[in-house]
Amino acid sequence: MRLRLVHQRQPKRNSLMATNDSEDSLTNATDRSLAELIEATKQTPPLCWKAYEALASHPSNEAIAALAQLVNHPDWTHKRAAIAGIGNHKNGIQLKDLLLTFLTNSNTFIVLATIRALAKMKSTKAHEKIQPFTQSGELPIRQAAIEALRTIWQKSDFDYLIELYSSEKQEAIQKTIGFVLVEQVNAENWEAFFSLFKNDLLARHRLWALQIATQYSSDKIKYANYFLQDLDGHIQKRVKQIKLIASR
Protein backbone atom coordinates (compact mmCIF):
# COMPACT_ATOMS: atom_id res chain seq x y z
CA MET A 1 0.00 0.00 0.00
CA ARG A 2 1.50 3.32 -1.06
CA LEU A 3 1.11 6.36 1.11
CA ARG A 4 0.37 9.63 -0.56
CA LEU A 5 2.41 12.49 0.78
CA VAL A 6 0.44 15.67 1.17
CA HIS A 7 2.55 18.74 0.66
CA GLN A 8 1.36 21.87 2.42
CA ARG A 9 1.52 24.98 0.36
CA GLN A 10 3.76 27.66 1.68
CA PRO A 11 1.92 30.98 2.16
CA LYS A 12 2.62 33.51 -0.53
CA ARG A 13 4.76 36.40 0.50
CA ASN A 14 2.76 39.54 0.04
CA SER A 15 4.10 43.05 -0.35
CA LEU A 16 3.44 43.86 3.30
CA MET A 17 5.65 40.97 4.45
CA ALA A 18 8.35 42.17 2.08
CA THR A 19 8.10 45.67 3.48
CA ASN A 20 8.42 44.37 7.05
CA ASP A 21 11.55 42.43 6.07
CA SER A 22 12.98 45.61 4.55
CA GLU A 23 12.24 47.54 7.74
CA ASP A 24 13.95 44.88 9.86
CA SER A 25 17.05 44.95 7.68
CA LEU A 26 17.22 48.73 7.93
CA THR A 27 17.10 48.64 11.73
CA ASN A 28 20.82 47.88 11.78
CA ALA A 29 22.76 50.30 9.60
CA THR A 30 25.45 47.71 8.87
CA ASP A 31 22.91 45.51 7.07
CA ARG A 32 22.81 47.83 4.08
CA SER A 33 25.37 49.82 2.14
CA LEU A 34 25.33 53.57 2.49
CA ALA A 35 24.03 53.94 -1.06
CA GLU A 36 21.14 51.60 -0.29
CA LEU A 37 20.23 53.56 2.82
CA ILE A 38 20.18 56.83 0.92
CA GLU A 39 18.05 55.25 -1.80
CA ALA A 40 15.66 53.89 0.86
CA THR A 41 14.92 57.44 2.05
CA LYS A 42 12.99 57.82 -1.22
CA GLN A 43 10.61 55.01 -0.28
CA THR A 44 7.15 55.58 1.17
CA PRO A 45 6.61 55.66 4.95
CA PRO A 46 7.41 53.95 7.21
CA LEU A 47 10.37 52.49 5.29
CA CYS A 48 11.88 55.90 4.56
CA TRP A 49 11.86 56.82 8.27
CA LYS A 50 13.71 53.60 9.07
CA ALA A 51 16.30 54.61 6.48
CA TYR A 52 16.86 57.97 8.19
CA GLU A 53 17.27 56.21 11.54
CA ALA A 54 19.76 53.79 9.99
CA LEU A 55 21.76 56.66 8.51
CA ALA A 56 21.89 58.25 11.96
CA SER A 57 23.36 55.02 13.32
CA HIS A 58 25.85 54.63 10.46
CA PRO A 59 29.30 55.51 11.90
CA SER A 60 30.81 56.94 8.73
CA ASN A 61 31.44 60.57 7.80
CA GLU A 62 29.75 59.77 4.51
CA ALA A 63 26.50 59.14 6.38
CA ILE A 64 26.58 62.51 8.10
CA ALA A 65 27.38 64.11 4.73
CA ALA A 66 24.34 62.38 3.24
CA LEU A 67 22.13 63.70 6.04
CA ALA A 68 23.53 67.17 5.41
CA GLN A 69 22.22 66.92 1.86
CA LEU A 70 18.88 65.43 2.89
CA VAL A 71 18.01 68.43 5.08
CA ASN A 72 17.40 70.25 1.79
CA HIS A 73 14.58 67.87 0.88
CA PRO A 74 11.51 69.81 -0.36
CA ASP A 75 9.20 67.72 1.84
CA TRP A 76 9.28 69.09 5.39
CA THR A 77 8.71 65.65 6.92
CA HIS A 78 11.92 64.39 5.29
CA LYS A 79 13.72 67.57 6.29
CA ARG A 80 12.65 66.96 9.89
CA ALA A 81 13.81 63.33 9.73
CA ALA A 82 17.22 64.42 8.42
CA ILE A 83 17.60 67.01 11.20
CA ALA A 84 16.71 64.40 13.82
CA GLY A 85 19.21 62.04 12.21
CA ILE A 86 21.98 64.61 12.48
CA GLY A 87 21.15 65.11 16.15
CA ASN A 88 21.40 61.37 16.77
CA HIS A 89 24.59 60.81 14.75
CA LYS A 90 27.80 60.51 16.74
CA ASN A 91 29.43 63.10 14.48
CA GLY A 92 26.38 65.35 14.31
CA ILE A 93 28.16 68.18 16.13
CA GLN A 94 30.07 68.81 12.87
CA LEU A 95 26.84 70.21 11.43
CA LYS A 96 25.83 72.45 14.34
CA ASP A 97 26.18 75.60 12.23
CA LEU A 98 23.97 74.10 9.53
CA LEU A 99 21.29 73.19 12.08
CA LEU A 100 21.34 76.67 13.60
CA THR A 101 20.02 78.04 10.31
CA PHE A 102 16.83 75.99 10.72
CA LEU A 103 15.88 77.75 13.97
CA THR A 104 14.42 80.54 11.84
CA ASN A 105 12.32 78.16 9.76
CA SER A 106 8.61 79.03 9.53
CA ASN A 107 7.60 75.41 10.17
CA THR A 108 7.05 74.70 13.88
CA PHE A 109 7.97 71.03 13.51
CA ILE A 110 11.29 71.91 11.87
CA VAL A 111 12.17 74.33 14.67
CA LEU A 112 11.15 71.75 17.26
CA ALA A 113 13.32 69.05 15.67
CA THR A 114 16.24 71.47 15.42
CA ILE A 115 16.09 72.47 19.09
CA ARG A 116 16.04 68.83 20.14
CA ALA A 117 18.86 67.89 17.78
CA LEU A 118 21.12 70.71 19.03
CA ALA A 119 20.33 69.73 22.62
CA LYS A 120 21.24 66.10 21.95
CA MET A 121 24.62 67.08 20.54
CA LYS A 122 25.13 69.43 23.54
CA SER A 123 25.95 72.39 21.34
CA THR A 124 26.83 75.20 23.74
CA LYS A 125 27.10 77.49 20.70
CA ALA A 126 23.34 77.10 20.30
CA HIS A 127 22.56 78.42 23.78
CA GLU A 128 22.00 82.07 22.86
CA LYS A 129 19.83 81.00 19.93
CA ILE A 130 17.71 78.51 21.87
CA GLN A 131 17.12 80.40 25.12
CA PRO A 132 14.75 82.98 23.54
CA PHE A 133 12.49 80.11 22.48
CA THR A 134 11.74 79.49 26.19
CA GLN A 135 9.31 82.39 25.83
CA SER A 136 7.76 81.23 22.57
CA GLY A 137 4.02 81.53 22.17
CA GLU A 138 3.91 77.90 21.02
CA LEU A 139 3.82 75.51 23.98
CA PRO A 140 5.76 72.58 22.40
CA ILE A 141 8.60 74.87 21.33
CA ARG A 142 8.70 76.60 24.72
CA GLN A 143 8.89 73.25 26.48
CA ALA A 144 11.56 71.85 24.15
CA ALA A 145 13.72 74.96 24.62
CA ILE A 146 13.54 74.73 28.41
CA GLU A 147 14.40 71.03 28.28
CA ALA A 148 17.31 71.81 25.97
CA LEU A 149 18.91 74.02 28.62
CA ARG A 150 19.69 70.86 30.59
CA THR A 151 22.44 69.92 28.12
CA ILE A 152 23.63 73.40 27.11
CA TRP A 153 23.44 74.85 30.61
CA GLN A 154 25.03 78.13 31.65
CA LYS A 155 25.21 79.36 35.23
CA SER A 156 23.01 82.36 34.47
CA ASP A 157 20.19 80.03 33.42
CA PHE A 158 19.32 79.36 37.05
CA ASP A 159 18.19 82.90 37.83
CA TYR A 160 16.68 83.19 34.36
CA LEU A 161 14.45 80.13 34.88
CA ILE A 162 13.43 81.23 38.38
CA GLU A 163 12.22 84.51 36.93
CA LEU A 164 10.52 82.70 34.05
CA TYR A 165 8.76 80.35 36.47
CA SER A 166 7.34 83.26 38.43
CA SER A 167 5.37 84.46 35.41
CA GLU A 168 4.51 81.05 33.90
CA LYS A 169 0.87 79.93 34.04
CA GLN A 170 1.04 76.61 32.16
CA GLU A 171 1.45 73.69 34.57
CA ALA A 172 3.28 71.57 31.99
CA ILE A 173 5.90 74.28 31.58
CA GLN A 174 6.14 74.79 35.34
CA LYS A 175 6.89 71.09 35.75
CA THR A 176 9.55 71.22 33.05
CA ILE A 177 11.24 74.23 34.65
CA GLY A 178 11.13 72.45 38.00
CA PHE A 179 12.86 69.35 36.64
CA VAL A 180 15.58 71.44 34.99
CA LEU A 181 16.19 73.60 38.06
CA VAL A 182 16.36 70.80 40.61
CA GLU A 183 19.24 69.24 38.67
CA GLN A 184 21.24 72.46 39.04
CA VAL A 185 20.77 73.19 42.75
CA ASN A 186 23.96 73.66 44.73
CA ALA A 187 25.24 75.29 47.93
CA GLU A 188 25.21 78.72 46.30
CA ASN A 189 21.67 78.81 44.94
CA TRP A 190 19.58 76.43 47.08
CA GLU A 191 17.93 79.25 49.05
CA ALA A 192 16.55 80.79 45.86
CA PHE A 193 15.18 77.37 44.89
CA PHE A 194 13.58 76.96 48.32
CA SER A 195 11.98 80.40 48.23
CA LEU A 196 10.49 79.70 44.82
CA PHE A 197 8.98 76.31 45.61
CA LYS A 198 8.21 76.24 49.35
CA ASN A 199 4.59 77.34 48.80
CA ASP A 200 4.12 75.96 45.31
CA LEU A 201 0.78 74.44 44.30
CA LEU A 202 2.58 71.32 43.03
CA ALA A 203 3.32 68.96 45.92
CA ARG A 204 6.39 67.58 44.16
CA HIS A 205 7.94 71.03 44.11
CA ARG A 206 7.24 71.60 47.81
CA LEU A 207 8.80 68.21 48.58
CA TRP A 208 11.88 69.16 46.60
CA ALA A 209 12.08 72.44 48.52
CA LEU A 210 12.01 70.51 51.80
CA GLN A 211 14.62 68.00 50.65
CA ILE A 212 16.95 70.65 49.25
CA ALA A 213 16.72 72.84 52.37
CA THR A 214 17.45 69.97 54.74
CA GLN A 215 20.31 68.85 52.51
CA TYR A 216 22.13 72.19 52.49
CA SER A 217 21.05 73.89 55.74
CA SER A 218 22.55 73.05 59.10
CA ASP A 219 19.22 73.86 60.78
CA LYS A 220 17.17 70.96 59.41
CA ILE A 221 14.46 71.18 62.09
CA LYS A 222 13.73 74.79 61.18
CA TYR A 223 12.97 73.89 57.57
CA ALA A 224 11.13 70.70 58.48
CA ASN A 225 8.85 72.69 60.80
CA TYR A 226 7.94 74.99 57.93
CA PHE A 227 6.02 72.08 56.38
CA LEU A 228 4.28 70.84 59.54
CA GLN A 229 0.87 71.93 58.25
CA ASP A 230 1.37 70.70 54.70
CA LEU A 231 -1.48 68.41 53.63
CA ASP A 232 0.57 66.20 51.33
CA GLY A 233 1.25 62.76 52.79
CA HIS A 234 4.68 62.35 51.21
CA ILE A 235 5.80 65.65 52.67
CA GLN A 236 4.52 64.77 56.12
CA LYS A 237 6.34 61.45 55.95
CA ARG A 238 9.55 63.21 55.02
CA VAL A 239 9.12 65.77 57.83
CA LYS A 240 8.78 62.98 60.38
CA GLN A 241 11.88 61.24 59.04
CA ILE A 242 13.94 64.43 59.23
CA LYS A 243 12.86 65.20 62.78
CA LEU A 244 13.48 61.62 63.88
CA ILE A 245 17.01 61.62 62.47
CA ALA A 246 17.74 65.05 63.96
CA SER A 247 16.62 63.90 67.44
CA ARG A 248 19.13 61.07 67.64
Q: Give the pLDDT confidence score for residue 22 in this predicted structure.
A: 53
- Answer yes or no: are the C-beta atoms of 87 and 102 closer than 8 Å: no
Nearest to 50 by CA among 112, 14, 58: 58
Rounded to two decimals, the pTM is 0.85
Is residue 10 a part of any domain in this protein? no
Count of structural domains within the chain: 1
**Number of helical (H) and strand (E) elements in the chain, helices listed first:** 15, 0
Is residue 22 a part of any domain in this protein? no
Is residue 211 a part of any domain in this protein? yes
Q: Give the pLDDT confidence score for residue 14 in this predicted structure.
A: 42
Is residue 227 a part of any domain in this protein? yes
Q: Give the pLDDT confidence score for residue 7 in this predicted structure.
A: 41
Q: Give the pLDDT confidence score for residue 159 in this predicted structure.
A: 98
- Answer yes or no: are the C-beta atoms of 37 and 26 closer than 8 Å: yes
Please state, in angstroms and rounded to a whole number, the distance separating the CA atoms of residues 216 and 79. 47
Range 173-179, long-range pairs (CB < 8 A, 24+ positions): 173/139, 173/142, 173/143, 173/146, 174/202, 174/205, 175/202, 175/204, 176/143, 176/146, 176/147, 177/146, 178/202, 178/204, 178/205, 178/208
Structural domain including 230 reads 188-248
Q: Give the pLDDT confidence score for residue 24 in this predicted structure.
A: 54
In tens digits, what is the pLDDT along the chain, a chain of 248 residues? 333 434 444 444 443 334 455 555 555 544 578 999 999 999 999 999 999 999 999 999 999 999 999 999 999 999 999 999 999 999 999 999 999 999 999 999 999 999 999 999 999 999 999 999 999 999 999 999 999 999 999 999 999 999 999 999 999 999 999 999 999 999 999 999 999 999 999 999 999 999 999 999 999 999 999 999 999 999 999 999 999 988 77
Is residue 225 a part of any domain in this protein? yes
Is residue 144 a part of any domain in this protein? no
Is residue 170 a part of any domain in this protein? no
Is residue 215 a part of any domain in this protein? yes
